[in-house]
Structures are given as structure tokens and as C-alpha cells.
């Protein structure tokens, strides 16, 4: 030990003893409960220390000569104190020590004898120096973490430059790398994070932990970065939320609702009042692929749309891609929403849930084996909502009865850090009756099996087997006439197998490639007798069967400093299969049941019609030195199944339809450009995006089209094309007691029919607004933390009214009232706007307390706006036979709710 080193250590020991004596009577606080918030962009380290002392009551001891040359360039948002300090002093010449929970000592790292670092403070020594020269090779194992949050980084690369040998981290951030003993330089990198080089002296096998930090100018159009998935650098049009952010979402009707919350993001609109369907950039609701643990959902609603089918207690993170779709995604043309359930806690069993006035929830997660390799997470919900329906002014609805339940679970078994298997199951059922004469029932059943493997230092594999089954049943009791009662059923079944390979040939390349195989089976309609005495004759529409396959590949790489490109390509092929009968129609005439000239018969599994195509994908990101990020993306997507509906609002009775002999797949070309900056204003994140979409083979309907039990459905469908464009602005504040966001979207979406005959043209073949054309959409959300347990939240939404078709003239002819309707979607509903308010008393912050609970009082539609749900005409009372316009509001009064959430 050198005299200089001994002097440093002597002074350090003396300073520590002085602190212990001087602060022996100081009142300590629990360091684990301290969280740090604030913007420390390009400020001296001394300013950060001053904030710790003045705002958090901490005592910091150091010397000016040690800290005056250092500065910070970071931001904290309720980060735990220790994690914040780790991020400040990571890979730094200074380090710190905490005493008695409120004293922090900051000193040069060379004075720290606890770390395996040589006196230069630059080389990380792995192993015991006494074993120097004993081994020829050794293994480094450890983790790569997000230095700001402490979360693992999946797919981070640890690379030895000279040997050109590296390893990629698994889902939990862990890695293993075999190297010759001796000195090495490791390159630590991850897409979207600031990489760095680390010198090591490898003596024997040991562990090392590396932390990476997000680049200060890298800002996606993302509300919150999820814990486990991090967006690629080139990704545009992405919204993400983690379980923590879902927990802090505003409560609507006393419930946290993932789908309702994303409708307050730019470019995403709700279908209608209290509907869980959503429209993305002017697309129909069926153009959104909603994946729960990889399995698609074909109806996302509970209780007419009062709630979504996703239990928020089970959600780990959620992502919505509005544009710039990676090549591994297809099947829909508007968006992809991925919802991941939690893995079970491996250390202890936890039980949590909530009691509300609409429904109650209960969930648990924890280990199932002593070795902690097998874990479970499970939850369920049950409703009691009849009292809510009684508040609706429509008598048919107010006299209704309804209930729902859903159960979901996830089993996870981790063989080791590199191999795991997961199984997810989900079951839901809704039953409602708008009268004593009919009962509606629908539900989803989902299964998913996923296997993850690490095949090498740079190669990962993911196998995914999915099943989804959606069903609907209408029981019509025919006003008590049992002999006329019947069942009406429709079902849609989906099975798929996916395999995805992730390859990191070098730290600058991120390659995805894989295959996706899908089998569809659709029963669009079947009528069956209610009982043996029923006179109803059984009938059914021919079942549909189809297969879809896709191959894809993409590579994200850096071409110039600050310029990153993602190139991708996807090839898909779809075949509609027999057995089926195809009707042929007279050439030169409109398709009607009267113009049928013959049929074509196809046998079992015989290809009736095949569609295929290549979909290019391109994304580009340019990051400027001033902190701006400029992005562009182009995508082509195809959709081979559609929901048949002539209503703007989702109904369970609507049917799904595969592409067939006449119905061609929907094709979408979308171009997006955007700009973002996290230094726009202090503590504010700003982003703007503009997009243009061109769509082919959209579905429109003839006036009076019949949807249910139509064996000649192609005669009521009209081909059409369309386009959408828009500008999306977002301002997000994440720091301080007051947090929230403000989003504004201006958008238009129009379409025109392309039929060859006059009967197949709407509005004479001219462009007209689609039912989802709502030009102005403004949403604001704010949360104010009164104290560490009390917070107030409010949200306001304003959306332009949707287009509608209304009667313009009514007249009498031979004793009957005849009505002449306007051009399609000529008029608009009044604008929709609403304000919701909630106040929450959060759970106790003490860690050792077993039972923790929180209360939330919320008011939906606080100022009682009577937003029109629909408009209709009816004949006026009295002698006059004139018709009058009426508006129906579903929720026209403030609706309070009280929810108690608990965990133990």
C-alpha cells in the first residue's frame, strides 16, 4: 500500500468516526422510503447535493475540491434514493456511503476499499488476486440493468472487441461470457441507451453488473417506457405503459381501464360513450389487433362497453403500435396492441384486489415450488351492475339485467436464466337481457404457450402457440311463445403457431426473423330450436375455413453517427378453403339473389381463393446534437378478416368474415413523420407526428343491408377505397407534484365506393366522411400529489361529433309515412365532451405492514353533460303526423363511485 493511499484511507476513517459522533442524536428517517424527483440537466453536482439537503432533509458530507469539477445531466421521477445515487455515481470517479439513514458521505472512489477496482479507479477486477495466473479461461456472469430504474434490459450486448466475442442478456438481464483470463475491454450496448467501454482484469470466474442509461435526446412518442420492453431507436407512433403507470391511471367509473386510458392518447379515439372499442387514425375497430399474451381478442368489452375485458391487476405492461409497424407484426392494418400479464412473484405469495360499486376483483401471485422456478399469477372479476343500468333514460336499457365474470392466469417455469416456458389462460362470459323476451350471451376463451430459449451468445428463440375462441348466443323467447323461441349463434376460432429468432451479429445490428402460421374457423350464423316443441326450422350459413402464413425479416442498424435505419419485409399468403358453395352472378348486372346464374362447389380443404403479397417496412431516425429526434416510417399491411357491421358502435351480435371468392383483403399504405424533444420546456416532453394512410378494399353496405343469417352476403357489400391523414401533438409532464399530459389530434378520414353499377355507389361515387371521421380530439389528464398518500386526478376529453345519416323529408303515400334520407354521413352529431374527477388515499408506505389498502372516490361526467349516444325520429303525438328528432344520452348525469383496493 502506498503512503498516499494510506493517507486517503486514514482521512476517510477519521471523517466517518466524526460523522458517527456528531450525528448520534440525529433523528433518522427510513432511507428506503425516500424518492427523488427533479430535473438536473447540465447542473453542477453541488446543486444536486444542495437539493438533497434542503428538500429531503439529508445531511451530505464531502469536500468542494472533490465535487467542483463534476456535473449532472439527468432527470428523476420518484426514483428511490439509492437508485438515484447509483445512477449519479455509476462509472464515476466519486462514490458514496450512507450512514444512519440520513447521512451521505461522498468521496473519491480510490478511497473506497469495498470495491474490486484497482487504484486507478478504471479497471474492474473480477476474481481474487491470490489466484492470478491459476486459470487460463474464466466465465463472467451477471446482469445488464437500466441504471435509472434498475430494471433488466433484454437483448443488451456485452462484447469483447479484440476477440470479437460477445453475449446477449436474457429477459431478466442476465448474461454469461467465456473469455481467456487477463485484461479485456468490454463494450456494453443496448438500442436506445448510451453504450460505453469497460476495462476488466479477469482473474477467475465471477460476477459483474453493468448499468446503461437512456440517451438524453432519445424520446419516442411514448407515454411511459415499459419495465421489460424498450422501443427500438427508430420506432414511431408507439404508446407504452407499465404496471406502475396503470396503477396511477385515472379511474373511470371507479375502475382502472387500460383501453379507455389509451383512447386519451393522440390518434386513438373511443368508438362511443362507454364503449371499449377504439379507432386508431381513422380505422375501424376491427382493424386493431389486440393480443393478450400473444392470443388475439375478438371482443374487448364487458357490459355493453362499460369496462374492457382486460383485468388491470394482471397487466405487467402494454404497447400500442399506431404506425411504423415492425415486420414481425401483421394481420391488421390500423394498429397492434400487446398486453403482457405479470409473471408470478418468485419470493413470496401476494394477494390483492378491489371492492367497487360496479364489480369486485381478486388476484394473487407467488412461487409454487421451493426452488422458486415455478410461479403463478391469477385473477378474476365479478360484476353486480344492474343499478347502473337503471340510471339510463332509455326504458329498454334501464329495465335490463346484466352480469359478467372473467378469470385469467399465467404459469411461468424458468429452467435457468436462458430457458423458460409460460402458459396463459383466460375465460370471460357476459350475459345481458334488455327485456324478458331475449337474452344475449358472449365471451372469449384464450390460451397461449410460449417457450423462450437462448441458442448462443447472440441468438435467441421464441416459440408461441395461441388459441382464441369468441362466441355469441341470442336466446329469443318470442314474447313467451315457446313454439317460436330459438337460439342464434355465431362463433369465430383462431389457432396460430409463431417462431421468432432474435440475432445480434454485432452490437450495431438487431435482426428479427420468423414465421407465423394461422388457421381460421368461422361459423357466421346458425339458428336452432329453443326446445323440442319449437316450430322454428334449423338453419345455418356455411362455415368458413382459411389458413394464413407469413415470413418476415428485419434489421435495425446504424449507418452514420446519429442515423439509424430499420429495414423489414413481410410476405403473407392467405387461402380460403372448402367445403363451400360459391354463387355465380350474371355478368354486367348488380349482384342480387335474383341474378344468381349458378354455383361452384368446392370440396374439403380445397382452395377456393388465394391472396398473397409482399409488405415492405422502413423506419428511420436522425438524432441531432441539440436533442431533437426526427423520424420517418413507411409500412404496407394486409388484413384478411373483417368484422361485418353497419353500426359505428360495436355490438356482440356482429359477425366476423374471412376474405373469400368476392371479398378481397384490406390493404393499407401508411407514411409517418415525426419530431420529438425532451428539452422543449423544463420538465416537459414534446412530440409531434403527421401521417397519411391510403386504404384499398374497404367494406361499405347498401342501404338496408342484412347482416345476420345472410347466405348472399356479398350482394349487400360494396367495395370502397379511402384515405386518412392527421396531425398529432403531445405535451407530457412527468416531474414534480403536478404531472399529466395534454394531447391534441386533428384528423380526417374519407372513403368512396368503387362499384361498377349505380346501385353499388354511395353519394354518386364521391368521397364522403366515414363514420369515424372526428376532426378534433383533445384530451387532458392531470394528477396532483397533495402528499405522499393523497392525490387528486382529473381528465377532460373533447371530440368532434361523428357523421350520421338522417331523414330529410317525410311524406304520406297511400296512408303510410315515407321517409327520404340524406346522403350518407351528411350530418354530424353534437361534439362529445366530459370531465372526470377522482381523489385517492393511497396505501400505507411502511414495508413491514402486511395489509395495505387504498380508497378512491371518483365522479364520472362530473358536470353532467348529456352527450348524445344516438339520434332517432318518431312520429309526434297529436293530429299532426310530422316526425320529430330525439337524442338519447346513455350517461347524462354525474356518476359517483367508491373503490377500495387492497394487498397483503
Fold type of domain 3-111: Phage tail protein beta-alpha-beta fold (3.55.50)
Report phi then psi at 352, rounded to 5: -150, 160
CA atoms within 13 A on the CB side of 805: 18
By C-alpha distance, which of 614, 599, 493, 497 is closest to 546? 493
Q: Give the residue-averaged pLDDT of 35-51.
A: 81
Residue with cell 402460421: 517
Q: Give the residue-averaged pLDDT of 244-272.
A: 76
Provide the pLDDT for residue 263.
86
By C-alpha distance, which of 504, 417, 510 is closest to 175? 417
Quick check: 614 pLDDT over 50? yes
Provide the pLDDT for residue 695.
96
Quick check: 114 pLDDT over 50? no
Give the single-character DSSP code of 760: G
Q: Give the residue-averaged pLDDT of 204-208.
A: 85
Where does the pLDDT of residue 607 fall: very low under 50, low under 70, confident under 90, or very high at 90 and above? very high
Quick check: 166 pLDDT over 50? yes
By C-alpha distance, which of 10, 32, 25 is closest to 847? 32
Quick check: 508 pLDDT over 60? yes
Provide the pLDDT for residue 329.
95
Quick check: 881 pLDDT over 60? no
Who's near 134: CB < 8 A, 6+ residues apart? 203, 204
Quick check: 466 pLDDT over 80? yes
Q: Which residue has the higher pLDDT, 576 or 346?
A: 576
Q: Give the residue-averaged pLDDT of 679-685.
A: 73
Report phi then psi at 713, rounded to 5: -60, -35
CATH 3.55.50.30 region(s) of the chain?
3-111
CB atoms within 10 A of CB 558: 15
Within 734-851, strands assigned E span 738-753, 768-769, 776-785, 790-799, 803-804, 807-813, 816-821, 827-828, 832-841
For residues 247-262, one letter each, b for 16 or more C-beta atoms within 10 angstroms of the residue's C-beta and e for the rest, the string is ebbbbbbbbbbbbbbb
Rounded Cα distance between 234 and 239, Å, is 14
Tell me which of 60-69, 204-213, 243-252, 877-886 is least confident. 877-886
Is 239 within 8 Å of 268 (Cβ atoms)?
Answer: yes
Rounded Cα distance between 752 and 766, Å, is 6
Where does the pLDDT of residue 65 fall: very low under 50, low under 70, confident under 90, or very high at 90 and above? confident
In DSSP terms, 497 is beta-bridged to 465, 517
Quick check: 742 pLDDT over 90? yes
Provide the pLDDT for residue 83.
76
Quick check: 832 pLDDT over 70? yes
Where does the pLDDT of residue 680 fall: very low under 50, low under 70, confident under 90, or very high at 90 and above? low
Q: Which residue has the higher pLDDT, 762 or 271?
A: 762
Q: Which residue has the higher pLDDT, 358 or 681?
A: 358
Is 698 within 8 Å of 720 (Cβ atoms)?
Answer: yes
Where does the pLDDT of residue 662 fall: very low under 50, low under 70, confident under 90, or very high at 90 and above? very high
Rounded Cα distance between 334 and 281, Å, is 7
Where does the pLDDT of residue 232 fall: very low under 50, low under 70, confident under 90, or very high at 90 and above? low
Provide the pLDDT for residue 388.
64
Q: Give the residue-averaged pLDDT of 207-228.
A: 53
Q: How far apart are the first and last CA of the chain?
A: 52
Provide the pLDDT for residue 776.
95
CATH 2.40.170.20 region(s) of the chain?
238-903
Grid cell listed for 462 = 421464441
By C-alpha distance, which of 99, 89, 101, 109 is closest to 49? 89
How many angstroms separate the Cα of 751 from the Cα of each of 179, 486, 557, 719? 61, 39, 38, 10
3-state secondary structure of 754: coil
Q: What is the CA radius of gyration of the chain?
A: 31
Burial class (CB in 10 A: 0-12, 13-18, 19+), 605: exposed
Quick check: 605 pLDDT over 90? yes
What's the whole-model pTM score?
0.74
Where does the pLDDT of residue 116 fall: very low under 50, low under 70, confident under 90, or very high at 90 and above? very low
Where does the pLDDT of residue 454 fall: very low under 50, low under 70, confident under 90, or very high at 90 and above? confident
Q: Which residue has the higher pLDDT, 439 or 848?
A: 439
Burial class (CB in 10 A: 0-12, 13-18, 19+), 223: buried
Is 496 within 8 Å of 461 (Cβ atoms)?
Answer: no
Fold type of domain 123-214: Immunoglobulin-like (2.60.40)
Provide the pLDDT for residue 99.
65
Domain 238-903: homologous superfamily in CATH: TonB-dependent receptor, beta-barrel domain (2.40.170.20)
Within 384-454, strands assigned E span 401-414, 420-435, 438-454
* Among 273-282, 623-632, 669-678, 883-892, the range of highest mean pLDDT: 669-678
Angle between helices 81-89 and 45-56 (to 10 degrees): 170
Beta-strand relationship, 315-321 and 238-242: antiparallel
Alpha-carbon torsion 213, 219, 225, 228, what sign? Answer: negative
Rounded Cα distance between 690 and 630, Å, is 12
* Among 28-42, 456-470, 566-580, the range of highest mean pLDDT: 566-580
Who's near 843: CB < 8 A, 6+ residues apart? 789, 852, 853, 854, 901, 903
Q: How many residues does the chain have?
A: 904
How many angstroms separate the Cα of 236 from the Cα of each of 340, 561, 616, 684, 806? 21, 19, 16, 19, 39
Rounded Cα distance between 412 and 391, Å, is 43
Give the single-character DSSP code of 564: E
CA atoms within 13 A on the CB side of 436: 4
> Where do the H-state alpha helices sit in 641-762?
none
Rounded Cα distance between 414 and 108, Å, is 41
Rounded Cα distance between 810 and 806, Å, is 11
Provide the pLDDT for residue 417.
77
Alpha-carbon torsion angle 301, 307, 310, 312, nearest 10: 170
CA atoms within 13 A on the CB side of 230: 22
Sheet architecture: strand order including 335-341: 238-242, 315-321, 335-341, 288-292, 295-296
Give the single-character DSSP code of 802: P
Q: Give the residue-averaged pLDDT of 747-767.
A: 88
Burial class (CB in 10 A: 0-12, 13-18, 19+), 114: exposed
Grid cell listed for 792 = 387528486
Estimate the share of the chain in helix, then strand, then coil, as percent rounded to the nearest 5.
Answer: 10, 55, 35
Grid cell listed for 304 = 355493453
Task: Give 549-600 pLDDT, tens digit per residue.
Answer: 999 999 998 888 889 999 999 999 999 999 999 999 998 888 889 999 999 9
Rounded Cα distance between 595 and 584, Å, is 8
Grid cell listed for 264 = 386519451
Determine the distance from the C-alpha atom of residue 220 to the mean position of all C-alpha atoms in its chain, rounded to a whole number. 14
Is 576 within 8 Å of 658 (Cβ atoms)?
Answer: yes
Q: Give the residue-averaged pLDDT of 158-166.
A: 80
Where does the pLDDT of residue 17 fall: very low under 50, low under 70, confident under 90, or very high at 90 and above? very low
How many angstroms separate the Cα of 795 from the Cα of each of 313, 675, 679, 741, 859? 22, 26, 25, 10, 11
Residue with cell 397492434: 336
Mean model confidence pLDDT for the chain = 82
CATH 2.60.40.1120 region(s) of the chain?
123-214
Task: Give 180-189 pLDDT, tens digit per residue.
Answer: 888 888 888 8
Provide the pLDDT for residue 102.
72
Is 514 within 8 Å of 328 (Cβ atoms)?
Answer: yes
Rounded Cα distance between 892 and 187, Å, is 60
Provide the pLDDT for residue 247.
67
By C-alpha distance, which of 179, 180, 85, 181 is closest to 129? 181
Is 888 within 8 Å of 872 (Cβ atoms)?
Answer: yes
Burial class (CB in 10 A: 0-12, 13-18, 19+), 596: middle
Amino acid at each position: 500500500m502506498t503512503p498516499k493511499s494510506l493517507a486517503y484511507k486514514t482521512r476517510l476513517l477519521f471523517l466517518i468516526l466524526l460523522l458517527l459522533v456528531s450525528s448520534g442524536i440525529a433523528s433518522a428517517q427510513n432511507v428506503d422510503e425516500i424518492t427523488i424527483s427533479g430535473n438536473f440537466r447540465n447542473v453542477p453536482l453541488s446543486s444536486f447535493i444542495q437539493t438533497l439537503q434542503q428538500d429531503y432533509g439529508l445531511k451530505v458530507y464531502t469536500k468542494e475540491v472533490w465535487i467542483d469539477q463534476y456535473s449532472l445531466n439527468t432527470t428523476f421521477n420518484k426514483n428511490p434514493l439509492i437508485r438515484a445515487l447509483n445512477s449519479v455515481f455509476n462509472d464515476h470517479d466519486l462514490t458514496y456511503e450512507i450512514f444512519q439513514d440520513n447521512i451521505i458521505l461522498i468521496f473519491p472512489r480510490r478511497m473506497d476499499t469495498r470495491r474490486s477496482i484497482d487504484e486507478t479507479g478504471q479497471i474492474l477486477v473480477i476474481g481474487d488476486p491470490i489466484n492470478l495466473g491459476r486459470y487460463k479461461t474464466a466465465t463472467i456472469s451477471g446482469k445488464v440493468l437500466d441504471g435509472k430504474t434498475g430494471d433488466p434490459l433484454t437483448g443488451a450486448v456485452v462484447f469483447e472487441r479484440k476477440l470479437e466475442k460477445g453475449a446477449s442478456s436474457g429477459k431478466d438481464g442476465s448474461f454469461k461470457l467465456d473469455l481467456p483470463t487477463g485484461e479485456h475491454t468490454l463494450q456494453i450496448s443496448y438500442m436506445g441507451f448510451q453504450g460505453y467501454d469497460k476495462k476488466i482484469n479477469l482473474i477467475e470466474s465471477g460476477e459483474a453488473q453493468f448499468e446503461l442509461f437512456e440517451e438524453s435526446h432519445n424520446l419516442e412518442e411514448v407515454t411511459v417506457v415499459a419495465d421489460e420492453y424498450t422501443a427500438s431507436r427508430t420506432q414511431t407512433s408507439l404508446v407504452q405503459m407499465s404496471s406502475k403507470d396503470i396503477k396511477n391511471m385515472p379511474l373511470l367509473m371507479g375502475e382502472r381501464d387500460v383501453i379507455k386510458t389509451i383512447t386519451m392518447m393522440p390518434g386513438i379515439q373511443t368508438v362511443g360513450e362507454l364503449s371499449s372499442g377504439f379507432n386508431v387514425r381513422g380505422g375501424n375497430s376491427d382493424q386493431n389487433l389486440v393480443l393478450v399474451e400473444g392470443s388475439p381478442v375478438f371482443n374487448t368489452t364487458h357490459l355493453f362497453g362499460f369496462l374492457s375485458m382486460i383485468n388491470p391487476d394482471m397487466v405487467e405492461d402494454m404497447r400500442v403500435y399506431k404506425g411504423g409497424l415492425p415486420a414481425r407484426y401483421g394481420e391488421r392494418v390500423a394498429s397492434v396492441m400487446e398486453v403482457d400479464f405479470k409473471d408470478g412473484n418468485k419470493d413470496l405469495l401476494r394477494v390483492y384486489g378491489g371492492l367497487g360499486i360496479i364489480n369486485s376483483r381478486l388476484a394473487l401471485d407467488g412461487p409454487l415450488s421451493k426452488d422458486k422456478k415455478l410461479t403463478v399469477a391469477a385473477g378474476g372479476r365479478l360484476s353486480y351492475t344492474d343499478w347502473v343500468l337503471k340510471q339510463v333514460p332509455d326504458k329498454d336499457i334501464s329495465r335490463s339485467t346484466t352480469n359478467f365474470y372473467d378469470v385469467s392466469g399465467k404459469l411461468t417455469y424458468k429452467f435457468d436464466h436462458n430457458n423458460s416456458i409460460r402458459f396463459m389462460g383466460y375465460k370471460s362470459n357476459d350475459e345481458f337481457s334488455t327485456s324478458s323476451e331475449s337474452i344475449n350471451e358472449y365471451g372469449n376463451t384464450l390460451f397461449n404457450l410460449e417457450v423462450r430459449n437462448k441458442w448462443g451468445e447472440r441468438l435467441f428463440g421464441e416459440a408461441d402457440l395461441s388459441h382464441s375462441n369468441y362466441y355469441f348466443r341470442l336466446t329469443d323467447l318470442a314474447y313467451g311463445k315457446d313454439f317460436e323461441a330459438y337460439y342464434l349463434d355465431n362463433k369465430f376460432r383462431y389457432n396460430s403457431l409463431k417462431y421468432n429468432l432474435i440475432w445480434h451479429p454485432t452490437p450495431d445490428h438487431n435482426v428479427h426473423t420468423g414465421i407465423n402460421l394461422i388457421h381460421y374457423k368461422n361459423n357466421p350464423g346458425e339458428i336452432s330450436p329453443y326446445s323440442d316443441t319449437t316450430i322454428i326450422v334449423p338453419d345455418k350459413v356455411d362455415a368458413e375455413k382459411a389458413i394464413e402464413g407469413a415470413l418476415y425479416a428485419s434489421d435495425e442498424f446504424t449507418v452514420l453517427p446519429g442515423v439509424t435505419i430499420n429495414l423489414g419485409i413481410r410476405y403473407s399468403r392467405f387461402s380460403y378453403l372448402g367445403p363451400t358453395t360459391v354463387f355465380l352472378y350474371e355478368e354486367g348486372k348488380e349482384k342480387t339473389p335474383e341474378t344468381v346464374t349458378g354455383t361452384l362447389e368446392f370440396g374439403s380443404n380445397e382452395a377456393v381463393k388465394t391472396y398473397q403479397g409482399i409488405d415492405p417496412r422502413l423506419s428511420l431516425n436522425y438524432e441531432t446534437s441539440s436533442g431533437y429526434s426526427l423520424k420517418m416510417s413507411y409500412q404496407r399491411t394486409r388484413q384478411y378478416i373483417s368484422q361485418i357491421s353497419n353500426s359505428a358502435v360495436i355490438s356482440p351480435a356482429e359477425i366476423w368474415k374471412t376474405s373469400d371468392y368476392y371479398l378481397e383483403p384490406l390493404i393499407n399504405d401508411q407514411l409517418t413523420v415525426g419530431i420529438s424533444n425532451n428539452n422543449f420546456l423544463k420538465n416537459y416532453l414534446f412530440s409531434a407526428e403527421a401521417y397519411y394512410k391510403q386504404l384499398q378494399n374497404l367494406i361499405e353496405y347498401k342501404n338496408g343491408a342484412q347482416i345476420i343469417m345472410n347466405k348472399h352476403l356479398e350482394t349487400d357489400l360494396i367495395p370502397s377505397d379511402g384515405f386518412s391523414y392527421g396531425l398529432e401533438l403531445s405535451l407530457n409532464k412527468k416531474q414534480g407534484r403536478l404531472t399529466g399530459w395534454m394531447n391534441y389530434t386533428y384528423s380526417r378520414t374519407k372513403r368512396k365506393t368503387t362499384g361498377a353499377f349505380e346501385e353499388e355507389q354511395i353519394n354518386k361515387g364521391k368521397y364522403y366522411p366515414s363514420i369515424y371521421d372526428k376532426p378534433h380530439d383533445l384530451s387532458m389528464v392531470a394528477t396532483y400529489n397533495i402528499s405522499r398518500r393523497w392525490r387528486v386526478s382529473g381528465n377532460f376529453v373533447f371530440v368532434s361529433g361523428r357523421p350520421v345519416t338522417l331523414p330529410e323529408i317525410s311524406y304520406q303515400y297511400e296512408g303510410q309515412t315515407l321517409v327520404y334520407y340524406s346522403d350518407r354521413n351528411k350530418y354530424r352529431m353534437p361534439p362529445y365532451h366530459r370531465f372526470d374527477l377522482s381523489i385517492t388515499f393511497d396505501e400505507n408506505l411502511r414495508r413491514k405492514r402486511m395489509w395495505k389498502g387504498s380508497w378512491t372516490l371518483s365522479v364520472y361526467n362530473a358536470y353532467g353533460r348529456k352527450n348524445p349516444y344516438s339520434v332517432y325520429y318518431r312520429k309526434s303525438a297529436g293530429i299532426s303526423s310530422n316526425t320529430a328528432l330525439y337524442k338519447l344520452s346513455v350517461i347524462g348525469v354525474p356518476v359517483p363511485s367508491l373503490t377500495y383496493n387492497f394487498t397483503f
